[in-house]
Structure formats: structure tokens, C-alpha cells
Structure 1
Amino acid sequence: MAAFEDRRLGDLAAQLRQDDPRFARALETGSPCRPREYRHGVAWLLLAVALGGFVLGIVVGHGLLIAGGLVLAGLAAHLFDPDRGRVRQGIARTSE
């Protein structure tokens, strides 16, 4: 491998360690771990609760339950965003 390719691989490894340290440690030790973009357990749970509240609000005919279900669905959708940590820190996404 050429020196510039080694440098690019080192840069990629450093970026990975900065973006998702848990995943980088798992790669180094050889134990499997999902990348941050695919860890959505809380988001799915919140989305299920939101859907349940929304459907219950429609069945019962209660506007507050419908509104609460929609708000919770919006919160769950925000949790599915893979770049929410970067947006919070003010780091722009670059496409190279």
C-alpha cells in the first residue's frame, strides 16, 4: 500500500473513533456491536407508544390523546436521525 493510502486509512480510523467510540472499540476487540446509526431501541419503543396513544385517541375520540400521540411520534422521528449529535454540536455534514 502506498503511503498516502495508509494516511487515508488512518484518517478514516481517527474519524470513526471520534464519531462512534463504542463501535470503534468493538472493532478493535473483535466483538460485534451495531454502529450508532442502527441503535434505535428507544426510538422504536417511543414510536410504538405514540402509535398506541394516537390509535386510542382516535377510537375514544379524545383530541388530547391524538395530539399527544402525534407529538411523541415527532420525538421518535427525531431519535431516528443519525446526525442528531452532529447537529447538536454544530458540525456540518460533509459529503466527500
Structure 2
Amino acid sequence: MATDEDRRLDDLAERLGRDDPRFAHAMRSGTPCSPQEYRRGAAWAMLAVALGGLALGIAIGHGLLIAGGLVLAGAAAHRFDPDRNRVRQGIAPPPG
């Protein structure tokens, strides 16, 4: 029974290493690091730029800048989805 459990844990560790190498390395070394689905710094920066461009486009009345801000805001919102990598790989997200 112990070998079966060890094999399952090794399989889980291998999948974690493939999915998020930075988090797996942090777990091995004992230094805290948030998992990939909780690292959203780039998404916040993209959203700030998008909203700035949208506000500037509204202020000066430039339609192309408004449209660009809206498109960039949509792309930034997509980056906040924690299951975006699973969906891209064709794996169904967990229920609930």
C-alpha cells in the first residue's frame, strides 16, 4: 500500500512541476511563492493601461483610442481567469 501511495505522490509532484515550475521549485526549496493562478501582476498593469487609454479616449473624443482601450481591457480581464491554461489545453475546469 505504501508504494502505491508513494507512486501517486510522485505523479502529483511531477504534474505540479510541469504545470508551474516556479511554484514547484519554491515548494522544494521551502521559500513561499504563490501558485501561477494567483500571480496577476501583469493583468493589473494591463488593466491600468487599458483604463487609462479608455479614459483618455473619452476625454479627447477619439473613437479609435476608446476602442483600443476596450479591447485591451477585455484582454486584461481574460488574464484574470484562473483556469485559462486548462481551457487552452482542452481540460475541463473543476466543477463549482
* TM > 0.5 fold call: yes
Helix, strand or coil for the counterpart of 2:33? coil
Aligned residues: 94
Higher mean alpha-carbon deviation, 74-83 vs 86-95, is at 86-95
- The Cα offsets for residues 12-44 of structure 1, whole Å up to 9 and x where unpaired, read as 544433432221110111112121011112111
For 2:55, the equivalent position in structure 1 comes to 55
> Which secondary structure state, in structure 2, belongs to the residue aligned with residue 85 of structure 1?
helix
Amino acid at match of 2:20: D
**What's 2:22 paired with?**
22
Show the counterpart of 1:40: 40
Which range is displaced more, 52-61 or 85-94?
85-94
Aligned position for 2:86: 86
Give the letter for the 2:42 counterpart.
V
Q: Give the % identical residues.
A: 66
Instruction: Give structure 1 stretches of 5+ with no counterpart.
Output: none
In structure 1, distance between residues paired with 2:22 and 2:80: 18
**Superposition CA RMSD, Å:** 2.4
68-77 or 81-90, which deviates more: 81-90
Structure 2 unaligned regions, length at least 5: none
Structure 1 stretches of 4+ moved >6 Å: none
User: Quick one: distance in 1 between partners of 2:27 and 2:74?
Assistant: 33
Query: How far does residue 74 in structure 1 lie from its aligned partner after superposition?
Result: 0.4
